[in-house]
């Protein structure tokens, strides 16, 4: 059994894949396994990955998976999970890269701590600029209960730092069904995943490691594209709220889930001009429906405690829903007329 499996999905990243693959080589060990998943790329990415397999196979174990249809990041990661054989697992996106020796440090740390999973900081790379982004949990190198890191509701916590590639995970979590992503999600795929992990796993720790370089501002990234795939965040957060509502500590945890959902809706409404016109209309409609689905009493409490700018957007949307319900139509007489 390999000590560590690194799952790397690729999709149309021919410009960046060589850097990603080069960084894997600088982290290779004979007991490491690299699972490369091409999600039906239309450019030269598959050829680049296939050439790298031969080179990487000299220094590590390598598996190459090729999708016949594009399924999105969540589906590609799931293919990697189904293929991976490692005792520990981690992820890397096909346009990001690793510092030399980072993976060995990561494995050493999780083995010494003996916990279910560890989380790390990362380096955000925007052009030539580099910024260290720290995990929001302050206690480092200490094994903790993941549930205790979900709250408080009004602050950034572990579940808001959802990057799957910022950490490593023991195989027992895979065996327990906690590492797979919701199939087909095109964006926000990490959100239901990180919540499930923190509700169901037994132990975790945060490390002072920042060897993952996360490339921002990539033109092909979904965060830069205003098409309908961006709206999958609705499906993702519906799942977070639904699963948290069924948790044994729903009264304690659900306010955090609803608050985060509201914040994400407000964020997208605040950037609505980046969406194509039909998608913008769809965003408003789907956001209004999402607000209707939330526990209304809890939603009122959440809006009362959010900052005014974001809560105002959501209150306006909520008022439109209420007005639409009570405004009589030609076929529906008002209560007075009745």
Residue written as tokens 């894949």? 17
User: Rounded CA gap, 37 and 68, in Å?
Assistant: 11
Encode 13-50: b = buried (16+ Cβ within 10 Å), e = exposed: bbebbeebbebbeebbeeebbbbbbbbbbeeebbebbe
The domain boundary, picked from 197, 220, 243, lies at 220
* Length of the chain counted residue by residue: 338
| pLDDT tens string 24-79 | 999 999 999 999 999 999 999 999 999 999 999 999 999 999 999 999 999 999 99
Q: What are the angstrom distances between the C-alpha of 223 and each of 16, 40, 175, 178, 227? A: 17, 20, 32, 26, 10
Residues 168 and 239 in one domain: no
Do 70 and 102 share a domain, yes or no? yes
Q: Is residue 336 part of a domain?
A: no
- Decide if 301 is inside a domain: yes
- pTM as predicted: 0.91
Whether 41 and 164 share a structural domain:
yes
For 6, phi then psi, to 5°, come to -110, 115
Residue 208 lies in a domain: yes
* Whether residues 166 and 47 fall in one domain: yes
Do 239 and 209 belong to one domain?
no
Phi (first) and psi of residue 199, to 5 degrees: -80, -35
Residue 157 domain-assigned?
Answer: yes
Q: CA-CA distance, 125 to 133, in Å (whole number)? A: 10
Do residues 202 and 298 both lie within one domain?
A: no
184 and 319: one domain? no
CATH number of the domain at 10, please: 3.90.550.10
- In degrees to the nearest 10, what's the CA dihedral of 284, 288, 289, 291? 140
pLDDT tens digit sequence for 134-144: 999 999 999 99
The percent of residues in the chain predicted with pLDDT above 90, rounded, is 89
* Domain end among 193, 220, 247: 220
Same domain for 202 and 61?
yes
Domain extent, residue 169, equals 4-220
Task: Assess if residue 133 is contained within a domain.
Answer: yes
* Cα-based distances in Å from 47 to 13, 54, 284: 11, 12, 41
Q: What pLDDT score was predicted for residue 332?
A: 45
Read out DSSP for 143-206? -B-GGGGT--TTS--GGG---TTSEEEEHHHHHTT-SPPPTT--SSTHHHHHHHHHHH-S-EEE
Instruction: Count structural domains, the chain.
Output: 2
Same domain, 148 and 256: no
Same domain, 40 and 127: yes
The pair of three-digit structure tokens given for residue 165, joined into one six-digit string:
């590639």
Query: Residues 104, 22: one domain?
Result: yes
pLDDT tens sequence for the chain (338 residues): 999 999 999 999 999 999 999 999 999 999 999 999 999 999 999 999 999 999 999 999 999 999 999 999 999 999 999 999 999 999 999 999 999 999 999 999 999 999 999 999 999 999 999 999 999 999 999 999 999 999 999 999 999 999 999 999 999 999 999 999 999 999 999 999 999 999 999 999 999 999 999 999 765 555 545 678 999 999 999 999 999 999 999 999 999 999 999 999 999 999 999 999 999 999 999 999 999 999 999 999 999 999 999 999 999 999 876 655 544 444 544 433 43
| Cα-trace Rg, the chain | 22
- Shared domain for 205 and 242, answered yes or no, is no
Burial 78-94 (b: 16+ CB within 10 A, else e): bbbbebbebbbbbbbbb
Which residue has tokens 């069904």? 177
Domain limit, last residue, from 174, 196, 220: 220
What's the pLDDT at 114?
Answer: 98
Alpha-carbon gap, residue 202 to 292, rounded angstroms: 34
Q: Phi, psi at residue 275, to the nearest 5°?
A: -85, 150
Q: Per the domain annotation, does 81 fall within a domain?
A: yes
Per-residue model confidence (pLDDT) at position 333: 45
Residue 240 lies in a domain: yes
- Maximal CA-CA distance, the chain: 82
């Amino acid at each position: 059994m390999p000590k560590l499996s690194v799952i790397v999905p690729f999709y149309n990243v021919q410009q960046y894949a060589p850097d990603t693959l080069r960084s894997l080589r600088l982290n290779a060990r004979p007991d490491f396994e690299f699972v490369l998943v091409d999600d039906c790329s239309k450019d030269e990415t598959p050829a680049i990955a296939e050439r790298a397999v031969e080179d990487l196979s000299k220094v590590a174990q390598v598996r190459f998976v090729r999708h016949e249809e594009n399924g999105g990041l969540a589906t590609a990661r799931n293919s990697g999970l189904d293929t991976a054989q490692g005792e520990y697992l981690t992820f890397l996106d096909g346009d990001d890269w690793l510092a030399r020796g980072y993976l060995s440090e990561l494995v050493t740390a999780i083995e010494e701590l003996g916990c279910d999973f560890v989380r790390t900081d990362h380096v955000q790379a925007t052009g030539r600029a580099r910024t260290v982004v720290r995990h929001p949990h302050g206690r480092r190198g200490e094994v903790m209960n993941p549930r205790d890191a979900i709250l408080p509701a009004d602050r950034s916590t572990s579940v808001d730092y959802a990057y799957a590639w910022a950490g490593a995970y023991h195989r027992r979590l895979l065996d327990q069904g906690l590492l797979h992503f919701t199939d087909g999600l095109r964006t926000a795929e990490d959100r239901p995943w990180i919540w499930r992990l923190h509700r169901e796993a037994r132990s975790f720790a945060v490390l002072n490691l920042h060897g993952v370089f996360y490339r921002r501002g990539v033109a092909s990234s979904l965060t830069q594209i205003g098409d309908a795939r961006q709206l999958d965040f609705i499906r993702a957060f519906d799942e977070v709220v639904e699963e948290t509502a069924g948790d044994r500590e729903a009264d304690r945890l659900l306010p955090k889930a609803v608050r985060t959902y509201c914040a994400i809706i407000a964020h997208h409404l605040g950037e609505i001009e980046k969406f194509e016109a039909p998608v913008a209309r769809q965003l408003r409609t789907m956001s209004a429906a999402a607000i209707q689905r939330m526990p209304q009493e809890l939603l009122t409490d959440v809006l009362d405690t959010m900052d005014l700018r974001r809560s105002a957007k959501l209150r306006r949307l909520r008022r439109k829903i209420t007005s639409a319900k009570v405004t009589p139509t030609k076929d529906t007489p008002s209560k007075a007329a009745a």
